[in-house]
Structure 1
Amino acid sequence: MNRRAVVASVGSLTLAGLAGCLGVVGFDEHEASPGGVDATALEETGYERTAVEELAVEEDVGALGYSERIVVRNHMTDHEKAVNLGPLGSQRAAVFAVLTTPKIGVVGRNVNPVEEMSTAELVELVASNYDDVGDVSHEADETVTILEQSTTQSQFTADAAFDGSPLEVALHVTEAVETDDDLFVTIGVYPEQVAFEEEENVRELAEAVVEDGNR
């Protein structure tokens, strides 16, 4: 599964939102800070941080004959856990990711569309960038608190594959919450066969998100 493609798509959406809003000095580069999860929650759930990846998306966008090179720098902070997959043994197949993308204000409004995307739209964005994820079905919604803000976390099921073997997975996606400068979205993925433990773990991890990805 290609997490870089997910981040790239988020960046491309942001660039699209900037079309027609050019000509404002200083709006040519936008960067989010990486988010993370509190160390205590990682220890309690058995996850560990495995990567903090930046992806810069660059594009010339313009309107009315004016164009500008725009750069949007997003971050994906990955956390993984080994779970028992039966015949496949213990595999690092449970993932919790914190996606950050910059807020971009133009004339008093944010033009990063991620802020207004529903969990259904976000999970469609995620699934469309994974070649081996399909047949996504919505299961339930709940309210979680991330960075002291209430937001919706939705659970979906999907068909996927792990090392070429078919695998049914659960996907948890939250609607974006905002800090002063960035938007935060959390994504949890794990095999359905370990849902009895990982469903609660994903909820705990989401509510333990921190702004400083180095913590």
Structure 2
Amino acid sequence: MNRRLFIGTLGAGALGTVAGCVSGLADDVATFSATPARVSEDAAAEADYKYQGTRERIDSEVVGGQDVEVTSYISVYDRAIDLTGERFGGDALKASVFGVIATPQVSVDGEDFDPVGDLSNRELAERVQSHYSGIEVDRAVGGRALQALGQRFSFQSYEGIATLQAEYDVSVHLDVAQRDHEDDHVVVAAVYPTDSILSEGSEQGRIDTLTRGLEQYEGIDVKLESERSGE
């Protein structure tokens, strides 16, 4: 599974131009910024996931007749998994990806702008499917609720097929949950192989560990990569 493609999916596809309180004003452009979110080091280590960095995404929009610049953050983790079966060649593939997106909620002159908050989990899953060439989502297969960031995150799980390294077709689950936290909207998404092809047991427990380990606060330490809409 290509990490860059997954970041692009969550940043450009699942979110689009996203939208709190105004954080600044530069050249007559109002700027809004989310607080980055990431998984604690202890939780990432327990789940055996590697932190791949946090993408800072900047989008421009007109809200309430005002030009605004919106900064969102996408933190991504992945894990190499030994997949069973001869067709995988015994390779350890980066087959599981976890992402957390934080977007500010914008309000200017009585006009609110928060397209992500208006999307259902199913709609977010469909955005991931339509913007990721290597995954096809088939159907919903259940859900679960977890506590994270002092909130209740309700996951919806979908089943589908993902293509790894442009070569292997793998049955996967796509989990999506979203929740407001402070002045931001937080989306959690994960893609991971189903139990039928894993040699190490279910991956869902690791995803739950990552989710429960989410952190979001001012001054949080993240490894930033910058991106502007259209890039």
| Pairing partner for 1:71 from 69, 72, 76 | 69
Count of residues paired in the alignment: 200
Are 2:175 and 1:172 aligned? yes
Contact 2:56–2:71 (CA under 8 A) maintained in structure 1: yes
| Pairing partner for 2:56 from 38, 54, 63 | 54
Aligned residue in 1 for 2:162: 160
Aligned residue in 2 for 1:33: 35
Aligned residue in 2 for 1:214: 221
For structure 1, the residue ranges without an aligned partner over 5 or more in a row are 16-25
- Give CA deviations for 1:11-39 in whole Å, capped at 9, x if unaligned: 53537xxxxxxxxxx87322212210111
Aligned residue in 1 for 2:81: 83
Percent identical residues: 22
Report the 3-state secondary structure (helix = DSSP H, G, I; strand = E; otherwise coil) of the residue aligned with 1:116.
coil
Contact 1:146–1:207 (CA under 8 A) maintained in structure 2: yes
Aligned residue in 1 for 2:203: 198
Report the 3-state secondary structure (helix = DSSP H, G, I; strand = E; otherwise coil) of the residue aligned with 1:196.
coil
Contact 1:82–1:93 (CA under 8 A) maintained in structure 2: yes
Q: What is the CA-CA distance between 1:202 and the residue it aligns to?
A: 0.7
Residues 124 and 10 (structure 1 numbering): CA distance in 2 closer, same or farther, change over 3 Å?
closer
Q: Distance in 1 between matches of 2:29 and 2:156?
A: 33
Range moving further from structure 2, 77-86 or 102-111: 102-111
Aligned residue in 2 for 1:22: none
- Give CA deviations for 1:25-62 in whole Å, capped at 9, x if unaligned: x8732221221011111111101211111111224x37
Contact 1:146–1:177 (CA under 8 A) maintained in structure 2: no
Q: What is the CA-CA distance between 1:77 and the residue it aligns to?
A: 0.4
Q: What is the CA-CA distance between 1:119 and the residue it aligns to?
A: 1.2
Q: Which structure features the higher share of helix residues?
A: 1
Aligned residue in 1 for 2:115: 113
Report the 3-state secondary structure (helix = DSSP H, G, I; strand = E; otherwise coil) of the residue aligned with 2:132.
coil
Aligned residue in 1 for 2:11: 7
Q: Distance in 2 between matches of 1:72 and 1:172?
A: 26
**What TM-score do the two structures reach when normalised by structure 2?**
0.76
**What TM-score do the two structures reach when normalised by structure 1?**
0.82
Contact 2:176–2:190 (CA under 8 A) maintained in structure 1: yes
Q: CA RMSD in A?
A: 2.5
Give the ranges of 4+ consecutive aligned residues of structure 1 lying more than 6 Å apart after TM superposition. Answer: none
Aligned residue in 1 for 2:47: 45
Residues 105 and 62 (structure 1 numbering): CA distance in 2 closer, same or farther, change over 3 Å?
closer
Contact 1:8–1:57 (CA under 8 A) maintained in structure 2: no
Aligned AA for 1:155? Answer: S
- Give CA deviations for 1:88-122 in whole Å, capped at 9, x if unaligned: 41122211111111111346775313223221111
For structure 2, the residue ranges without an aligned partner over 5 or more in a row are 20-27, 223-231
